[in-house]
Amino acid sequence: MTSWSAVVGSQCLSLHQGHLPTCLCVFQRMPAPIRLRELIRTIRTARTQAEEREMIQKECAAIRSSFREEDNTYRCRNVAKLLYMHMLGYPAHFGQLECLKLIASQKFTDKRIGYLGAMLLLDERQDVHLLMTNCIKNDLNHSTQYVQGLALCTLGCMGSSEMCRDLAGEVEKLLKTSNSYLRKKAALCAVHVIRKVPELMEMFLPATKNLLSEKNHGVLHTSVVLLTEMCERSPDMLSHFRKLVPQLVRILKNLIMSGYSPEHDVSGISDPFLQVRILRLLRILGRSDDDSSEAMNDILAQVATNTETSKNVGNAILYETVLTIMDIKSESGLRVLAINILGRFLLNNDKNIRYVALTSLLKTVQTDHNAVQRHRSTIVDCLKDLDVSIKRRAMELSFALVNGNNIRGMMKELLYFLDSCDPEFKADCASGVFLAAEKYAPSKRWHIDTIMRVLTTAGSYVRDDSVPNLIQLITNSVEMHAYTVQRLYKALLDDISQQPLVQVSSWCIGEYGDLLVSGQCEEEEPIQVTEDEVLDVLEGLLLSNLSTPVTRGYSLTAIMKLSTRFSSVNRIKKVVSVYGSSIDVELQQRAVEYNALFKKYDHMRPALLERMPIMEKTASNGPTEIVQTNGETEPSVPDTKHPPLVTQPANQANDLLDLLGGNDVVPVIQTTLPTKPASAGGELLDLLGDLSLSGGPAPAPVPSVPVSQPPFLLDGLSSQPLFTDIAAVIPPMTAYNKNGLKIEFTFERANPNPNIAVITIHATNTTEADMTEFVFQAAVPKTFQLQLLSPSSNIVPALNQGSITQIIRVLNPQKQQLRMRVKLTYTHKGLPVQDLAEVNNFPPQSWQ
């Protein structure tokens, strides 16, 4: 059937060429397809999407059958209709081959639509497009320039690298013709060829010789584009074309000096498109080359001063000039001129020009800081702009301009901006203020005031790490404690909805509650509050619906700390015991722990709840955080602050250092099991302290289960995972199995930082006697960092009746294969045992 109709179709064509509609009527085949405009009109009458889809499906069916019948007359019309439907979002890929047939046709109309369809429907990742290579080749050599033009346009728009390789020779030939219509197209086609196949660049080099002597602006413009492309791609070309600088300068000079030429004039400026392109090429040629830069200094100054700036087009040229001046080795006077142009841009009524000015100033602020600084007030004014794009740029630039001299003034403006700006800006602005304050704060009080101001105005937008950072700042400003706690207490009375502020306030009231009620404050008028009032506020936080679970945790801990700072211990005891049955597990756990502290370990309480020591300054993010969670495990730094914690003297570490062969390993002093009350107290102190330290980029663990716990808290807690979102996909391994002692490693990857492997060791004992005073130590090569957390016990029970677990965290930033040396010491049947082992068979998932 199909073959028959195809035959009939071709007979029709040969017999009745030119009278096809009649022929169709005679044979009662398909009626002539509707015209393109008719179809568009019909589709536009569709009232619903469904109706439109139905019309299009019907038409597509007709088009498909027409294609099947190899109908040459209406192919062009059908493809055009298909392109319209394609634009509406309907599939049109079945027209791909028809486009190729149209391209092969002799008719110009067919070719025109065929090439248009090819550019829209064909994709260089489908091999179909290669079928037109030959047609393009023929058309590039066609006798009609418009056919050649179509072929060049298509090649320059969608030619794949294979096509470019095949047709580059033809393009190069056309680049040398005297026909400017073809020459300009060939130049841009060459640009496309070079982008696709850079190694073909050389072949166009001879043709570039006299491109710039051309009078036609189209050819000049496209040639400059071609030269730019070549210079950007190859340093050899760049140095080769440097000799063109005088010629380019001359062309530019002629453009700006010549009188009015109607053909290329735009708002009184002669060919701005060409001017911009030449300026851009000059920028590339002058970059880090003294001679070329010298040769273009004058013309740049001329363009910068002579260009009419009442219209966008003049500013487009000025903008390009400024970029060139900033990028080449220009004279300092010229650079100042450029920055001043940008300064003028800032005052322009056109928001586009203000935007461009801010973007460019942002680029140059690092190199020409002082020149940009002079426009500070204008830049700050842009913060009040109505356009958000401009506001954002102005904000970024304002932060870049903050320094020690202007910090007070700039911060005033930026804090005002923070108050009034849209929510989308608040987070960035708040962290910008934090950073700038940290860098340039004129005084500690100012610093604390500024951060508190941010927390009160944009508290819900600040990042999670701002709470621990502020706490650290406050802790370290000893003389400001009374003032700070008083300010924060007052802020809390005003508003308890801003969670970060409430958390910091709670923490401070817990730490410095005694200063608050003492009514002594040197910085400002002291306030008179009673202990009960303070506790009322903190209990209010525990009850408030506005408080998050994290805030409640802070609040409960603060109340607990006040038990050693206030006289009303009974009230605190009551609160703590009430929360021992809270439905919030986190809060309940805290309360239960604190309750135990009141009951069984009351003698330790004062020591445990002592004021936090001054914290050492640490980077707020980055790999160092691994050593923060547990104050005393800084690798290779012997702990001096808590000497009782290390039951074995430091020489043990040295032993291990020796054992491991010295230079290439970093020993880690392991956290020995706390045996004395004082050391347990120290750990719990850290536990309380970790509220302020463990923030970092991971918000989850802020008040999480303490990593090191005194033994009485362990039961029932050791099963609690340290990290909540861990994919447990890494297989466990046996690291050591000797004399009845077996040590197994299980792995987890810490979620916030995939470079950290969390290894849990499980030590079991198959012998019939317990192993006592068990100590596990480990060391890793220097490229790693290792942290050993406290073991669950120091006794490995006999006959597999239990195990010791201990967590090792390994930071492996370079993702190297993990290696570890372990040292084991324990007492077995009254005899001390010591053994060393090397662990090399870590599963790849644990370190990759």
Partner 1 sequence: MQFMLLFSRQGKLRLQKWYVPLSDKERKKISRDLVQTILARKPKMCSFLEWRDLKIVYKRYASLYFCCAVEDQDNELITLEIIHRYVELLDKYFGSVCELDIIFNFEKAYFILDEFLLGGEAQETSKKNVLKAIEQADLLQECHRGPVQGQYTHVQWSDSPLLGWGQRSASCLGHALDFTHT
Residues 81-120 that bind partner 1 (CB under 8 A): 83-84, 87-89, 93, 107-109, 112-113, 116, 119-120
Query: In this structure, what token pair is assigned to residue 44?
Result: 């536009």
Q: Return d(Cα 288, Cα 32) in angstroms, integer.
A: 66
- Rounded Cα distance, 229 and 238, in Å: 10
Binding of partner 1 at residue 265 (CB under 8 A)?
A: yes
Nearer to partner 1 (CB atom), residue 146 or residue 712 = 146
Which residue lies nearer to partner 1 by CB, 387 or 639?
387
Examine residue 188 and tell whether it contacts partner 1 (CB under 8 A): yes
Among 353, 371, 452, 786, binds partner 1 (CB under 8 A): 353
Residue 53 interacts with partner 1 (CB under 8 A): yes or no: no
Of 356, 542, 660, 730, the one binding partner 1 (CB under 8 A) is 356
416 binds partner 1 (CB under 8 A): no
Q: 267 or 801, CB closer to partner 1?
A: 267
Q: Does residue 259 belong to the site contacting partner 1 (CB under 8 A)?
A: no
Point out which span in 270-278, 371-379, 550-558, 606-614 binds partner 1 (CB under 8 A). 270-278
CB of 318 to partner 1, least distance (A): 9
Nearest residue to 132 (alpha-carbon basis) of 78, 193, 123: 123
CA nearest 691: which of 826, 793, 821, 561? 561
Query: Measuring CA to CA, how many Å separate 244 from each of 237, 331, 429, 607?
Result: 11, 21, 47, 80
Among 66, 160, 790, 846, binds partner 1 (CB under 8 A): 160
Of residues 767, 764, 698, the one with CA closest to residue 732: 764
Phi, psi dihedral angles at 839 (to 5 degrees): -110, 115
- Look-up of token digits 């038409």: 59
Identify the residue among 42, 340, 352, 648 touching partner 1 (CB under 8 A): 352
Contact between 423 and partner 1 by CB under 8 A: the answer reads no
For the chain, the C-alpha Rg in angstroms (whole number) is 39
Structure tokens at 479: 């003389």
The correct pick among 230, 244, 342, 390 for binding partner 1 (CB under 8 A) is 390
The residue among 264 and 762 lying less far from partner 1, judged by its C-beta, is: 264
How many CA atoms lie within 13 Å of 253's alpha carbon, on the beta-carbon side? 12
CA count, 13 A, side-chain hemisphere, 652? 19
User: Could you give the dihedral angle defined by the CA atoms of residues 726, 732, 736 and 741, in that order, rounded to the nearest 10 degrees?
Assistant: 90
Closest CB to partner 1 among residues 387, 655: 387
Give the pairing of strands 785-788 and 741-749.
unpaired
Judged by beta carbon, residue 270 or residue 709, the one nearer partner 1 is 270
* Dihedral, 796, 798, 800, 801 alpha carbons, nearest 10: -90
Give CA–CA dist 168/295, Å, rounded. 35
Give whichever of 155 and 608 is closer to partner 1, judged by the CB atom.
Answer: 155
233 near partner 1, rule: CB under 8 A: no
Q: Which of 52, 214, 271, 625 binds partner 1 (CB under 8 A)?
A: 271
If the CB atoms of residues 174 and 684 are measured against partner 1, the closer one turns out to be: 174
Question: Which of the ranges 219-227, 596-604, 648-656, 763-771 carries the binding residues for partner 1, by CB under 8 A?
Answer: 219-227
Of residues 125 and 209, the one with the C-beta less far from partner 1: 125
Considering only residues 505 through 544, tell me which ones interact with partner 1, judged by CB under 8 A. Answer: none
Task: Show contacts with partner 1 in window 457-486 (CB under 8 A).
Answer: none
Structure-token pair, residue 809: 């965290």
- Least distance to partner 1 from the beta carbon of 273, Å? 5
Binding of residue 217 to partner 1 (CB under 8 A)? yes
Q: Which is nearer to partner 1, 204 or 774 (CB)?
A: 204
Query: Which of 181, 416, 446, 601 is the binder for partner 1 (CB under 8 A)?
Result: 181
Single residue of 20, 80, 430, 592 touching partner 1 by CB under 8 A: 80
- 389 lies in the site for partner 1, by CB under 8 A: yes
- The residue among 259 and 844 lying less far from partner 1, judged by its C-beta, is 259
Output DSSP code: residue 34: P
| Beta-strand relationship, 820-828 and 831-839 | antiparallel
Binds partner 1 by CB under 8 A, chosen from 19, 53, 54, 146:
146
Contacts 24+ apart (CB under 8 A), 256-259: 256/302, 256/303, 256/306, 256/307
- Binding flag, residue 426, partner 1 (CB under 8 A): no
Of 305-344, which residues contact partner 1 (CB under 8 A)?
Answer: 311-313, 315-317, 319-320, 323
Binds partner 1 (CB under 8 A): choice among 6, 13, 34, 40: 40
Residue 399's CB is within 10 A of a number of other CB atoms, namely 17
Contact between 697 and 466 under an 8 Å Cβ cutoff? The reply is: no
Give the 3-state secondary structure of 151-206.
HHHHHHHHCCHHHHHHHHHHHHHHHCCCCHHHHHHHHHHHHHHHHHCHHHHHHHCH
Q: Nearest 5°: phi and psi at 615?
A: -90, 150
Per-residue interface string for the shown chain with partner 1, residues 741-770, x marking contact by CB under 8 A: ------------------------------
Q: Does 37 bind partner 1 (CB under 8 A)?
A: yes
Question: Does the footprint of partner 1 cover residue 609 (CB under 8 A)?
Answer: no
